[in-house]
Amino acid sequence: MTPPDHPVRELTGLPAPAKLNLFLHITGRRADGYHLLQSVFMLVDWQDTIDLVLREDGQLSREDSGTRLALPDNDLCVRAADALRQATGCTLGAHIRLHKQIPAEAGMGGGSSDAATCLIGLNRLWHLGLARAELARIGLALGADVPFFIGGHNAWVEGVGEQLTPVHLPRRRFVVVKPPTGASTPKIFASPALKRDTKTATMQGFAADENAEAMLDMEKLFAHTRNDLQPVAQGLCPDIERCILWLFSQGLQGRMTGSGSAVFAPLPDAFDALAPLPEGWVARICSSLDAHPLTDWISG
Ligand code: C5P
């Protein structure tokens, strides 16, 4: 995109989409305690939006449109902005306004996506010109899921979340259900009951043909995979199993995304209406995205 003639002072309505993990296998643990995983991450159209307003006084501030309360310094958006300044020596500031839609503690990557959108947007607002790989490196220090959102495409993900291979996924609708309760991600990963030795697979093993770029076959994927975090998460948060059973009662096969507690199920084309939800649950019918809406904002 051509730079504007006059300095841009704010960028508004920047999207931060959520993700679903179509499966999540834990294949090992690194010496630093982080887990090696294999997963397919898929972008969906349930999204937060972010406004970035230039502050020339060098301050970073953040507001949530829902609460309008000042948030703590360890907020992931502020940390992303700070990490970007440290990496580049930039002395400009920003006011970050977050319009939160994605449920927290859902395993949908909401916080990581917000951080990624802040990195992408501030890279532009502050005229830093960092390429994708550099933004992803900064993002990884903020959270294992951040590089995926910087990457911009649905991906086969390995390592601790930083090794990304773009994959084509069939467009699909999903129902996503989030109970009011959740379980702590570090607690799930730290559980002695967690299965950490799932055999490593190759991406080609799931693809519709031998071409690595081929479209993954969703039904085949579900039949041969699982979320290794789910049994431990269900033990800590019984609502997760209730969500799975609620979906099952409507003929849908549910699976947890990430470390939960949201659960999702692919929808058959003919599916029209969901049963009434128990008190306190939220549910939404989402569609997969082919790419992050801001992917063209970064080079590389
Ligand atoms: O990186 P992120 O903040 O998303 O991770 C939250 C916690 O989940 C980490 O502190 C770590 O305990 C655990 N984790 C892990 N292996 C990963 C990702 C996360 O052990 N690949």
Burial of 27 from C-beta contacts in 10 A (0-12 / 13-18 / 19+): middle
Is the C-beta atom of 160 inside 6 A of ligand 1?
A: yes
**Calpha distance 230→256 (Å, rounded):** 6
What mean pLDDT, rounded, does the chain reach?
A: 92
Say if residue 48's pLDDT is above 90.
yes
Say if residue 2's pLDDT is above 60.
no
The pLDDT > 70 percentage for the chain reads 93
- Of 48, 51, 145, 228, which one is the catalytic site residue? 145
Q: What is the pLDDT of residue 210?
A: 58
**176-217 pLDDT, tens per residue?**
999 999 989 999 999 999 999 999 998 887 776 656 556 777
**17-34 pLDDT, tens per residue?**
999 999 999 999 999 999
Cα–Cα distances in Å, from 191 out to 37, 170, 194, 237?
A: 16, 34, 6, 13
Annotated catalytic residue 19: yes
Burial call 215-250: b when 16+ CB within 10 Å, e when fewer: ebbbeebeeebebbbbbbbbebbebbbbbbebbeee
Q: Indicate the DSSP class of residue 161.
A: T
3-state secondary structure of 126: coil
Is the C-beta atom of 146 inside 6 A of ligand 1?
A: no
Mean local confidence (pLDDT), 97-119: 96
Token representation of residue 201: 């697979």
For residue 161, give the ligand 1 atom closest to its CA.
Answer: 21
Task: Tell me the residue length of the chain.
Answer: 300
Which segment of 1-10, 96-105, 222-231, 275-284 scores lowest on mean pLDDT? 1-10
Mean local confidence (pLDDT), 59-77: 77
Is the C-beta atom of 185 inside 6 A of ligand 1?
A: yes
Q: Indicate the DSSP class of residue 207.
A: B
DSSP bridge partners of 22: none
More reliable by pLDDT, 7 or 284: 284
Angle between helical axes of 76-88 and 132-140 (0-180°, round to 10): 130
**Calpha distance 109→170 (Å, rounded):** 21
Indicate the pairing of strand 282-287 with strand 35-55. Answer: unpaired
Token representation of residue 124: 């532009």
- For tokens 């994605």, the residue is 102
Strands of 33-114, DSSP E: 35-55, 60-64, 93-99
DSSP bridge partners of 265: 175
Token representation of residue 150: 């910087």
**Calpha distance 243→246 (Å, rounded):** 5
Please state whether the peptide bond connecting residue 249 to the residue before it is cis, i.e. omega within 30 degrees of 0.
no
Atom 12 of ligand 1, residue of closest alpha carbon: 186
Atom 8 of ligand 1, residue of closest alpha carbon: 186
Say if residue 74's pLDDT is above 90.
no
- Residue 67: which pLDDT band, with cuts at 50, 70 and 90? low
Token representation of residue 51: 């406004």
More reliable by pLDDT, 14 or 209: 14
Token representation of residue 296: 């063209």
Burial of 271 from C-beta contacts in 10 A (0-12 / 13-18 / 19+): middle
Pocket-testing residue among 35, 38, 149, ligand 1, by greatest number of atoms within 8 A of Cβ: 35
The pLDDT > 90 percentage for the chain reads 81
Is the C-beta atom of 297 inside 6 A of ligand 1?
A: no
**132-175 pLDDT, tens per residue?**
999 999 999 999 999 999 999 999 999 998 999 999 998 999 99
Annotated catalytic residue 145: yes
Burial of 262 from C-beta contacts in 10 A (0-12 / 13-18 / 19+): buried
**234-260 pLDDT, tens per residue?**
999 999 999 999 999 999 999 999 999
**215-234 pLDDT, tens per residue?**
777 888 888 999 999 999 99
Say if residue 1's pLDDT is above 50.
no
Structural domains for the chain: 10-167 (3.30.230.10), 173-287 (3.30.70.890)
**According to DSSP H, which parts of 52-175 are helical?**
76-88, 110-125, 132-140, 146-151
Say if residue 3's pLDDT is above 70.
no
